[in-house]
Structures are given as C-alpha cells and as structure tokens.
C-alpha cells in the first residue's frame, strides 16, 4: 500500500504549495493596493 502513501504525500504538498502561493499573492496585492485592504475592513 505504498501507493496510497505517495498519493497522500503529493496531495499534502499540493495543499502547502497552494497556501504559500495564496499568501504570496495576498502580500503582493497589499503592496500594490493598500487601499483595498482598508475598504474590506
């Protein structure tokens, strides 16, 4: 059942990469448009 281990590990890596990309994009948006964050609050 090593296949399931690799599948789970791959999904876990994709999830972490997705979160990192989302955080980086959010940081870039805040740097480019700091006014948008104030409107959302």
Residues 7-16 have pLDDT tens digits of 999 999 999 9
**What confidence tens digit (pLDDT) does each residue in 18-33 have?**
999 999 999 888 787 7
Written as six digits, the tokens of 31 are: 């740097």
- Mean confidence (pLDDT) of the chain: 86
Specify burial of residue 35 (Cβ count, 10 A radius: 0-12, 13-18, 19+). Answer: exposed
- DSSP for 1-41 reads -HHHHHHHHHHHHHHHHHHHHHHHHHHHHHHH-HHHHHHH-
């Amino acid at each position: 059942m090593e296949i399931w281990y690799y599948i789970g590990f791959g999904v876990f890596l994709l999830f972490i990469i997705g979160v990192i990309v989302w955080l980086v994009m959010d940081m870039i948006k805040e740097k480019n448009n700091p006014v948008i964050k104030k409107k959302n609050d």
